[in-house]
Amino acid sequence: MSFLDVKDLKIHFPTDDGLVKSVDGLSFSLERGKTLGIVGESGSGKSVTSLGVLGLHKGGRARLSGEIWLDGEELIGASAEHVRRLRGKKMAMIFQDPLSSMHPFYTVGHQIIEAYRIHNNVSKQVARKHAVDMLGRVGIPEPERRVDAYPHEFSGGMRQRAMIAMALSCDPELLIADEPTTALDVTVQAQILDLMRDLQREFNSALIIITHDLGVVAELSDDILVMYGGKCVEYGTTDDIFYRPEHPYTWGLLGSMPRLDREPTERLMPIKGSPPSLINVPSGCAFHPRCPYAEKTGGKDRTEVPALTETEGGHLVRCHLDRAERRDLWENEIKPALETP
């Protein structure tokens, strides 16, 4: 069993308009020291997944099922109090918008100290010293002074560094970063990603990076999971996803990826249409209304939900198209188009 094992995770929200299946049967696993990228558009269920792992949907109106095994412990059946004790200590999270995710009325230091003292019975002085250390480790200059600053007094990048310092303050074994760089400038993005890689090595933690941008996870991830409409549509190693992608949605994501050798606004293969409603998920393959190759399935696209099937060596794909046809499309149509400068 892996360090983190998620099996058939379902997170459904009953609403007045119907049942929202935010996450619908998701499975993946992750070892210590490894990084998993979960990629998808907004509304694909990737953020809900991460909150589900942390148990932050418990007690609300969400219905959770499936299993989450963290270091040999099952979390969905565990008590809320037990999961709370693990949160921040064994598993921690970095959020997308560090400005809104930090309390505006408390200093950065106060918030790190608070995080540390929840799980460590130490004096405020000790915790404060730890907070200063952490700020220094995430690359904040003059941490002794900055520890007493308020979030709004930091720049965007500094805030995200502080956020990371807060998440890492208790030495978590599982770190989930939800769009950690989205709110940041491109140059700062790279710094933050470098920082996260360095820290992961240092702490040997398992890391899940959630993003809509394949580019973010390209260098960091060992594995990548592509989500669409609450389901996994492709799951494999980073090499699988970048060099042998088999799902038309993954192709679309690759086409949308900003690359340094292109104009940033240029999109070679944009994905037409918008993400599906999670209440009225399209019948059959949820991607079919946007799939350029839907007519090649002989009508199965609208009637059957494609199964997640293994093609080779742990590479999983959920698509009605023939494997051969997919390979053919990739090699002859998509890849050449992507490589054309």
Partner 1 sequence: MVTYIIRRLIGAFAMLIVISMVTFGIFFVVPQWAGATPEALASRYVGRAATPETVALVAERLGFNDPVVVQYGRFVKGLFAGAEYDYGAGVEQCPAPCFGYSFISGQPVWPDLVDRMPVTFSLAIGAAILWVVAGVSVGVLSALRRGSIFDRISMGTALAGVSLPIFFTGMISLVVFSYGLGWTPPGGAWTDFTVNPAQWAYNLLLPWITLAFLFAATYARLTRAGMLETMGEDYIRTARAKGLRENQVVTKHGLRAALTPILTLFGIDFGLLIGGAILTETTYTLPGLGQFAILAIRNQDLPQVMGVVLVAAGFVVVASLVVDLLYAVVDPRVRLS
156-168 and 186-203 are packed helices; what angle lies between their axes, rounded to 10 degrees?
10
> Per CB under 8 A, does 89 bind partner 1?
yes
Give the residue from 287, 268, 283, 270 showing the smallest Cα distance to 336. Answer: 268
CB of 310 to partner 1, least distance (A): 34
CB of 308 to partner 1, least distance (A): 29
CB of 210 to partner 1, least distance (A): 13
> Per CB under 8 A, does 100 bind partner 1?
yes
d(CA 6, CA 29): 6
* # chain residues binding partner 1, by CB under 8 A: 27
Q: Which residue has the tokens 């805030």?
A: 159
CB of 182 to partner 1, least distance (A): 13
> Per CB under 8 A, does 62 bind partner 1?
no
d(CA 156, CA 139): 14
Stretch that binds partner 1, among 85-93, 233-241, 242-250, 308-316 (CB under 8 A): 85-93
Q: Which is nearer to partner 1, 139 or 151 (CB)?
A: 151
Ranges within 115-174 binding partner 1 (CB under 8 A): 115, 118-119, 150, 152, 166
> Per CB under 8 A, does 70 bind partner 1?
no
Q: Which residues is 6 bridged to in the sheet? A: 28, 68
Tell me the residue ranges of DSSP E strands in 49-187. Answer: 63-70, 73-74, 91-94, 174-178
Q: Which of 20, 43, 44, 95 binds partner 1 (CB under 8 A)?
A: 95
Q: Which of 6, 23, 102, 227 binds partner 1 (CB under 8 A)?
A: 102
> Per CB under 8 A, does 93 bind partner 1?
yes
Q: Which of 104, 141, 298, 313 binds partner 1 (CB under 8 A)?
A: 104
Ranges within 6-25 binding partner 1 (CB under 8 A): none
124-137 and 156-168 are packed helices; what angle lies between their axes, rounded to 10 degrees?
130
Q: Which residue has the tokens 């003059």?
A: 142
d(CA 300, CA 298): 6
Strands 315-318 vs 73-74: parallel, antiparallel or unpaired:
unpaired
Stretch that binds partner 1, among 10-18, 82-90, 139-147, 297-305 (CB under 8 A): 82-90
d(CA 238, CA 259): 17
Tell me the residue ranges of DSSP E strands in the chain. Answer: 4-15, 18-30, 35-39, 63-70, 73-74, 91-94, 174-178, 206-211, 223-228, 231-237, 308-312, 315-318
Stretch that binds partner 1, among 11-19, 89-97, 293-301, 306-314 (CB under 8 A): 89-97
> Per CB under 8 A, does 63 bind partner 1?
no
CB of 81 to partner 1, least distance (A): 9
Q: Which is nearer to partner 1, 69 or 106 (CB)?
A: 106
CB of 71 to partner 1, least distance (A): 16
d(CA 131, CA 223): 32
Q: Which of 27, 33, 69, 84 binds partner 1 (CB under 8 A)?
A: 84
d(CA 241, CA 235): 8
Contacts with partner 1, residue ranges (CB under 8 A): 51, 54, 56, 84-89, 92-93, 95, 97, 100-105, 107, 114-115, 118-119, 150, 152, 166
